[in-house]
Structure 1
């Protein structure tokens, strides 16, 4: 290398020193360098194949203009809060600790419903730092609109702007959806937010009520597609097309429920099992269950349930399949179980109102979900093979140019979705200029 190139290399190395792991990324940038913006949109319960029996021109256009995954595999347990928190932490459920939609305490036996749990800080802030806080610590401004986990503080830090739905919120109001999109556009343009997570509670609610194969679900998917079109039109209208990357995805899929089958999973009908041996139970919430047996009765309860029903899978905590990345958290009870696809677990009574359900094995195709991405950082017309949702966090950190927290994702998995140099362009202009000069010096 020529002497001039050596000097330039030294200067470049000095500028790049803050890029060592753990250094705050906002120190790496010029104060005047442009930042890319990112909008993560989740349509709850959007199964991977919902666009195959409905006309979805706007989702199809996203695929043509950007990137589409054949499907995405969510985390287990395939429930709303755990899967959404995996997206914003890059961690499997046993590592981020949001193990259920419901807050529960095995000592007090307190159990709180989904909406109430959204506001319980200790349920969410238990060691993992989501991307909102990480981005803010590195100089960015973030927002959460109805996104699970976005309305509590983490290590004392709140999301810059956030909205939380009401207790009896109507998740299917299309006019409100458009108003919410308008608000998010205002956040980006008037409040200079860099990252926003936007949540819609459909088609999950409709899939639960009418079933995933119903005409009502098909109509709701058409509404989702219209909203995607409105969203992309709004991005263009606000002159954000060249600076904002859009990801549309979901938390899990949906499966039809067996409600009249002769082999329902009913714990209260199993001959050798009694609830008198149990101190705490979390049952009747789809296909999953947790039990805390009374002291000294764990093996007795386990023996009564293990193999008691061909569609019920019961494990001691330490023997739960490690591939689920679920049972290793202290919040998990000594005994846990799940049922076969289509079958829910009935506890003390047999009551099932839903025609559709999730929470099943994340390897089952009905639990797979969608992934679309479009924007200045993404390639065009690319369809990729399936991947796990745990990798989306690393992708988002690359798009925002921030240093990620420790996580279970691999940044290399989704890097092929990006245009050549998409992450390199996040460097300050001074660094980019030096890189160019070094290349010229090397050629000379």
Structure 2
């Protein structure tokens, strides 16, 4: 048989492991030796190829799988391995003529055996690659999630640490504080009461036993400064936002908005109670956002649906509402079940923040003037309301559980026909487009670029003629007013001196009034320089959030600080604001007899004003009773504790009259019993005093200004 035929049928071409069979002839010629060498070379190629196939069938280790992930894209493409093997086959040495296996058959062997093995290995390799890729991705995902979680924990820890350093009272921790009154559990609860128009020196008229007793048991400055302009709506919104009027946008009781091309007028509730005017976050929104329910009784702006949450409970404004009804509303809210009551339902739960607005002093101050007999009756009436409220807290054992903060928004000055500036006489009214504010006047001109400089010079010369008013542009406005950075602030302002007013002839003709003796109304006004003594307001606080010695004094501050104080008392985080004070307040000792709130003499700009120590008479000239004469008329001296009052007044039912001599601690039960006795004695006098002139009072229900 020919050599080619023997080579074709030779076993070595079908079995890679078969040994090379020597020729039958047994000869060892040069050609045969060369052929055997070539066959060995071919076998090595096949052996290498076989090893490569075995590697592809071998299960990869973890390290091999990890490496395979980075080459997964290459291994996923079908035919990539075949291309590598085809390239390798091309590199083999070509067989010489006369070899036992023809080139054509060698190619056929590779196509059927080697290629199918490579395809199988690629399928298995691809499967291992997919499994490895999924496993690696899962591992990487877990690692990334762990890193993100750790970062968030570190960030949260850093924030808490920084908050703790800044403020001694951490809101998150304080919110966990709970108080038990013997029947119910109370979370931090604060009542904020605003006495509109209550001037600081009203406290020195000997007609406010409840307020004075409250001051002696709490913490207060000599007075609190309102914000400019010293009118109701801007200051009430400042009290609950901590922002200057220029920052919260309610810049007056009436003003023009150039963007809306519309006028805000506080008594036109269909306009003024639209949310577009109120662009800051008030306290009730801050509280509701943090899970603290709020109950608002007639607070200016509370009906404006300020985004994006309403108070849980709200009473709409009613200027003629009886004072007793205000107390009933507050006590009704306190009597609701709390979150920690076992039987508490999900609806009608107790609020923690309660705000109440009392317009009476302001309304009668405008109507009768701040030095009238009528305003004295009103002040005493409001003080009696506080007496009833304190008694309600006593009955519920809440005097040491609920915080009480009493404030006012501004003071009041007496007006007169002789202290009026006729605006028509000092400027050309045809140049004016809008007039904002009252009694100060903000002028918006039809051609401001041309006329503001001209009118400013003209009005400045007029102001220099007498001590009647000041004139400012936005560039010359005193910095302490914080009254420039808002488009709602007019470019030119006439600010009258305290007790003066700027009027237009269409409203009041000054020359005619002086000639006929006509009186100007209102008889009391505010809105002047917020630092003037007649504009001073009050602040007094007491409760577990105010752990100060009785009768503690703090430095005078402006009402932008009230918002932060309220937030801290409730344990909530305040929204960014202009205030800086935080709880606990830093005291500067105790109030002395000659240095207590309202003790500083204030001169009202009226010639015939009655001195406060003169007796008050009714319409028939009968002298009305002053505060009741009893040992409690003289408040505790500086450095004394409440228990140092006369024994029959200070001792409680269990003889709890002993207190610390240094006045740093108080016996709460004896102190509140002491106050209770004084209030009981004052009530009869207050009732007699109020009833004696009640028939003279008019104007209940007038809107606040």
TM-score (norm 2): 0.52
Any residues of structure 2 matched to 1:413-428 within 5 Å, and which? 415-416=585-586
Change (3 A) 1:178 1:93: same
Counterparts of 1:368 and 1:72, CA distance in 2: 6
Deviation string, structure 1 residues 368-397 (Cα, Å, up to 9, x no partner): 011111112222221333221111111112
The structure with the largest helix share of the pair is 2
93-102 or 236-245, which deviates more? 236-245
Counterparts of 1:175 and 1:313, CA distance in 2: 43
Q: CA deviation at 1:140?
A: 0.9
1:114 to 250, 263, 267: 267
Tell me the equivalent position of 1:364.
532
Larger RCO (CA under 8 A, 6+ residues apart): 1
Preserved contact between residue 175 and residue 572 of structure 2 (Cα < 8 Å): no
Q: CA deviation at 1:181?
A: 3.6
Counterparts of 1:231 and 1:410, CA distance in 2: 31
Whether 1:223 aligns to 2:381 is yes
1:147 to 299, 313, 319: 299
Higher-Rg member (1/2)? 2
Tell me the equivalent position of 1:245.
403
2:328 to 155, 158, 179: 179
Counterparts of 2:523 and 2:177, CA distance in 1: 54
Preserved contact between residue 47 and residue 366 of structure 1 (Cα < 8 Å): yes
Any residues of structure 2 matched to 1:275-424 within 5 Å, and which? 275-282=429-436, 285-286=438-439, 288-295=440-447, 296-309=450-463, 310=466, 311-349=468-506, 351=508, 352-378=520-546, 379=548, 380-412=550-582, 415-416=585-586
Counterparts of 1:344 and 1:58, CA distance in 2: 34
Whether 1:45 aligns to 2:200 is no
Counterparts of 1:136 and 1:228, CA distance in 2: 27
Change (3 A) 1:257 1:31: closer
Change (3 A) 1:31 1:74: closer
Counterparts of 1:120 and 1:109, CA distance in 2: 12
Counterparts of 2:201 and 2:324, CA distance in 1: 26
Deviation string, structure 1 residues 296-331 (Cα, Å, up to 9, x no partner): 322233233223133121111222111111222121
Preserved contact between residue 172 and residue 571 of structure 2 (Cα < 8 Å): no
1:211 to 364, 369, 383: 369
Q: CA deviation at 1:367?
A: 0.2
Runs of at least 5 residues in structure 1 that lack an aligned partner in the other structure: 1-11, 421-444
What's the Cα RMSD here?
Answer: 2.9
Counterparts of 2:452 and 2:163, CA distance in 1: 44
Change (3 A) 1:114 1:191: same
Preserved contact between residue 235 and residue 241 of structure 1 (Cα < 8 Å): yes
312-321 or 363-372, which deviates more? 312-321
Change (3 A) 1:48 1:133: same
Runs of at least 5 residues in structure 2 that lack an aligned partner in the other structure: 1-152, 165-169, 180-186, 339-347, 509-519, 589-663, 665-705
Counterparts of 2:362 and 2:392, CA distance in 1: 25
Tell me the equivalent position of 2:390.
232
Q: Aligned residue pairs: how many?
A: 397
Whether 1:162 aligns to 2:314 is yes
Any residues of structure 2 matched to 1:28-177 within 5 Å, and which? 35-102=187-254, 104-106=256-258, 108=261, 110-114=263-267, 116=269, 119-124=273-278, 126=279, 128-166=280-318, 169-170=319-320, 173-177=322-326
Preserved contact between residue 234 and residue 253 of structure 2 (Cα < 8 Å): yes
Change (3 A) 1:154 1:123: same
Q: Secondary structure at the match of 2:220?
A: strand
Preserved contact between residue 90 and residue 394 of structure 1 (Cα < 8 Å): yes
The structure with the largest strand share of the pair is 1
Preserved contact between residue 256 and residue 434 of structure 2 (Cα < 8 Å): no
